[in-house]
Amino acid sequence: MIKPGIPKGTRDFGPVVVRKRNYIFQTIRETFELFGFQPLETPAMENLSTLTGKYGEEGDKLMFKVLNNGEIYPAAHEAKDNKALVAAITEKALRYDLTIPFARYVVMNQHELALPFKRYQMQPVWRADKPQKGRYREFYQCDADVVGSNSLLNEVELLLIYDTVFTKLGLKGYELRINNRKILAGLAEVIGKPELLTDITISIDKLDKIGAAGVRKELEERGLASEDINTIERFLAIDGSSTEKLSQLKELLQSSATALKGIEELSFVINAGYADFNTTPIIDVTLARGLNYYTGLIVEVKAPATVKMGSIGGGGRYDDLTGLFGLPGISGVGISFGVDRIYDVLEELQLFPQTAQQSTKVLFLNLGEDSARKAFDYMMQLRKNGVAAELFHENAKMDKQMKYADKRGIPYVIILGESELQENTLSIKNLVNRQQEKIEAAALLQFTF
């Protein structure tokens, strides 16, 4: 008999963890709903034709492909190489993210949907990445996107969703960093090297890690002239309040219409007065993220510096979300919550409320048939009143039953011994402060557990 295990990079979630995760999901879901977003669920398996080529070569490699059912030997036998073999024996793969299935859904349902369509989706995705600390092969994504609207009100709304969720979760000291892809594109235009946009942003994205000198060195290696690098350094030196940053950007990049458009968009989001943020968004001109996606806003949520967790969310605007599936010209903007990291952050900062950790409130001890019958009645009354309650399954030694309550973290034990049965009372023991009191049976539903 082999010892049972689970595939590497996957996890079982036991009761305590599921409850805490559900607290996070529930907080996010509630907020999505308050903001008028609607739930969508797509299948775990998608056709390979839907997924292939959408996530780059790396993505095609890391996708979990599902073997065709039935006889595969003949088809496999004829294949001349790995690629042909895989193509011959698979036609489905596991969901790799939530964005491509969403785009596919929008295209398939374009005639029924009321646009703009604001959807949220919270489902697992699978990637054959090398498992390591904080990186799993099965993990939940938790996305909200709007398609079919170019209005910057959506950007404001999505930032407010972050603000609302993290406020509800009690998280303080996190940062909501924003940028605009058009500003980065404008910078490349201003130094006359639009074709080097990707190189430039990859380098400046590393400012935090390698410092200004490191960035300079990298840019030199990527073939940028010294005066271009000077411009980039002036760009990186932009500082001050949001208003100051915006005006410095305007001055430095005034020759690029693209940049000015980006600055205007950022300015709207920051200054619209549409919204009071608990945590004001910070302009971060180095913020790039998966640059090739984004065409407007770029946003990233950084965990409080004290927990060293990095990004706990991000998103942005991407034009032409559905063009891949034959429906061009539909713009999208969305955000994502990194639930696994948020979990770790809340755990480290001890921000999970008691209610997120609670299960059964009351254990009735089983002291034999007469007592158990009576206890069962009381238990059903409590349950009808919304109090989670259990009766120990057998008339075991008191000690064993108390141990069960302890191990399960049940805070109250109710005892219906002979005297209680005679007096029509109940003894309630609080296992937290170890105090015991006797109440009239009729007062049970008024008791605060």
Pick out residues in 387-446 that bind its own copies (CB under 8 A): 387-391, 393-394, 404, 407-408
Decide if 332 contacts 317 (C-beta within 8 A): yes
* Interface residue with its own copies, options 25, 52, 55, 62 (CB under 8 A): 62
* Interface residue with its own copies, options 27, 141, 154, 179 (CB under 8 A): 154
Structure tokens at 447: 């008791």
Total number of residues binding its own copies (CB under 8 A)? Answer: 98
310-329 positions binding its own copies, by CB under 8 A: 325-326
Stretch in the footprint of its own copies (CB under 8 A) among 194-202, 237-245, 380-388, 432-440: 380-388
Residue 99 labeled ligand binder: yes
In the bound state with its own copies, the residue whose beta carbon lies nearer, of 126 and 166, is 126
Residue 289 labeled ligand binder: yes
In the bound state with its own copies, the residue whose beta carbon lies nearer, of 275 and 349, is 275
Residue 340 labeled ligand binder: no
Decide if 285 contacts 235 (C-beta within 8 A): yes
> Taking CB under 8 A as the rule, does residue 65 contact its own copies?
yes
> Which of 201, 99, 104, 118 is closest to 158 using CA atoms?
118
1-20 positions binding its own copies, by CB under 8 A: 1-7, 10-15, 18-19
How many CB atoms sit inside 10 A of residue 184's CB?
27
Kindly list the distances between the CA atom of residue 227 and the CA atoms of 78, 190, 201, 231, 404, in Å, as whole numbers in the listed order: 59, 12, 17, 6, 72
Residue 222 labeled ligand binder: no
Kindly list the distances between the CA atom of residue 53 and the CA atoms of 88, 139, 208, in Å, as whole numbers in the listed order: 17, 21, 32
386 contacts: CB under 8 Å, gap ≥ 6: none
> Taking CB under 8 A as the rule, does residue 284 contact its own copies?
no
Stretch in the footprint of its own copies (CB under 8 A) among 56-64, 190-198, 420-428, 434-442: 56-64
Q: What is the DSSP letter of 8?
A: T
Q: Is 372 helix (H, G, I), strand (E, B) or coil?
A: helix
- Minimum distance from CB of 243 to its own copies (Å)? 19
In the bound state with its own copies, the residue whose beta carbon lies nearer, of 146 and 249, is 146
In the bound state with its own copies, the residue whose beta carbon lies nearer, of 172 and 408, is 408
> Taking CB under 8 A as the rule, does residue 55 contact its own copies?
no
Instruction: Find the helix or strand (DSSP H, E) in which 438 lies.
Output: strand 436-440
108-147 positions binding its own copies, by CB under 8 A: 108-109, 114, 116, 118-119, 124, 126, 128, 138, 146
Identity of the residue numbered 157: E
Under the phi-then-psi rule, with left for phi > 0, alpha for psi from -120 to 50, and beta for the rest, what region is 192?
left
Instruction: Give the distance between the most distant pair of CA atoms in the chain.
Output: 94
Q: Return the sign of the alpha-carbon dihedral for residues 261, 263, 266, 272.
A: negative
The CA distance from 150 to 261, in Å, is: 14
214-253 positions binding its own copies, by CB under 8 A: none
Kindly list the distances between the CA atom of residue 16 and the CA atoms of 20, 296, 393, in Å, as whole numbers in the listed order: 6, 40, 22
> Taking CB under 8 A as the rule, does residue 49 contact its own copies?
yes
The CA distance from 184 to 187, in Å, is: 5
In the bound state with its own copies, the residue whose beta carbon lies nearer, of 81 and 208, is 81
* Interface residue with its own copies, options 25, 52, 55, 76 (CB under 8 A): 76
Residue 293 labeled ligand binder: yes
In the bound state with its own copies, the residue whose beta carbon lies nearer, of 118 and 181, is 118
Residue 141 labeled ligand binder: yes
> Taking CB under 8 A as the rule, does residue 267 contact its own copies?
no
> Taking CB under 8 A as the rule, does residue 383 contact its own copies?
yes
341-370 positions binding its own copies, by CB under 8 A: 359-360
**Torsion angle of C-alpha atoms 434, 439, 444, 448, degrees rounded to 10:** -40
The CA distance from 248 to 312, in Å, is: 29
Provide the annotated binding site: 97-99, 127, 141, 145, 289, 293-294
Q: Which residues are annotated as a binding site for L-histidine?
A: 97-99, 127, 141, 145, 289, 293-294
